[in-house]
Amino acid sequence: MDYATYLRRGRPIGTGMVEGACRHLVKDRMEQAGMRWTLPGAEALLALRAVNENDDRDDFHAFRRAQRHRHLYGTSLRSQILVTAPAASVAWRTLPSVSGR
C-alpha cells in the first residue's frame, strides 16, 4: 500500500473508520443495559441494522417476500407475477401491416 499517495489524496490509512463503524453498528446496540443475545438472534439483528444503515430496505423487503413465497408455494414470486398479471396492464402495440402480400 502506497501510504504517501493515499495521504496526499486524503484517503484514510488507519482502521479507525472501520472500528468506528463496528462500534456503531455492533457494540452500541448489542451491549445496552440488560440485553442478552443468542448467536442467531444477534446475527439477525445485525443483518437488519446493516440493511438499515445501507438504506437497502426496499431491496431487503422484496427479497424477503420472494423468499417467503418460494417457501410457501415452491415457486418463485416472479413467475407467479408474470403468469397472473392482468392483460390490461400489458401494453400491446400493433405491428404495421405489410402491403403487397
pLDDT tens for each residue of the chain, 101 residues long: 788 888 889 887 778 878 888 888 788 888 888 889 899 998 998 889 889 988 999 999 998 998 898 889 888 766 655 544 444 444 444 445 455 44
Consecutive H or E run containing 43: helix 39-53
Q: Distance between CA atoms of 50 and 39, rounded to whole angstroms?
A: 16
Could you tell me the pTM of the whole model? 0.50
**Residue 43 is assigned to a structural domain of this protein:** yes
**Residue 97 is assigned to a structural domain of this protein:** no
**Residue 88 is assigned to a structural domain of this protein:** no
Domains of the chain: total: 1
Residue 68 is part of which domain span? 12-81
Residue of 82, 50, 76 lying closest to 63 (CA atoms)? 76
**Residue 72 is assigned to a structural domain of this protein:** yes
